[in-house]
Amino acid sequence: DIVMTQSPDSLAVSLGERATINCKSSQSVLYSSNNKNYLAWYQQKPGQPPKLLIYWASTRESGVPDRFSGGGSGTDFTLTISSLQAEDVAVYYCQQYYNTPYSFGQGTKLEIK
């Protein structure tokens, strides 16, 4: 099974500043035949279901603000919020959908400093 590990577990960033969350997979999630990374990022606010932000590691879901961006390939990935807004306070999860079981990272709690 693929293990997903996020860092840090929690993060406090000032409004308007950059926030970066890391995600590492225990094996590559890059499918060589189509050169796609099977990696997604989700945002979950208290009392709400998760919301898809990024898929294929770097493709923003429709309606997601462009301050959110995803990067990386193979086993190492990042989610970056370029200028933190108050509404971005949430827990963020990465997930691989390369192989079942489609494992999630443990989550990163993002707060305002």
Partner 1 sequence: EVQLVESGGGLVQPGGSLRLSCAASGFTFSNYWMHWVRQAPGKGLVWVSHISSDGTTTNYADSVKGRFTISRDNAKNTLYLQMNSLRAEDTGVYYCARVAMHGGNSLGYWGQGTLVTVSS
- Who's near 17: CB < 8 A, 6+ residues apart? 83, 84, 113
Q: Which neighbouring-strand residues pair with 104?
A: 95
Phi, psi (5° rounding) for residue 107? Answer: 100, 150
Q: Is the backbone of residue 99 left (phi > 0), alpha (psi -120 to 50) or beta? A: beta
Task: Closer to partner 1 by CB, 36 or 67: give it.
Answer: 36
Q: Is 49 in the site for partner 1 (CB under 8 A)?
A: yes
Q: Is 82 in the site for partner 1 (CB under 8 A)?
A: no
Please identify, among the stretches 11-19, 39-47, 72-80, 81-89, the one whose residues bind partner 1 according to the rule CB under 8 A. 39-47
- Who's near 109: CB < 8 A, 6+ residues apart? 9, 10, 11, 91
Q: Smallest distance, Å, CB 83 to partner 1?
A: 25
Tokens 């989550």 map to which residue? 107
**In the set 24, 51, 64, 69, which binds partner 1 (CB under 8 A)?**
51
Task: Closer to partner 1 by CB, 16 or 100: give it.
Answer: 100
Residues forming contacts to partner 1 in the complex (CB under 8 A) are 1, 36, 38, 40, 42, 44, 49-52, 55-56, 59, 61, 91, 93, 95, 97, 100-107
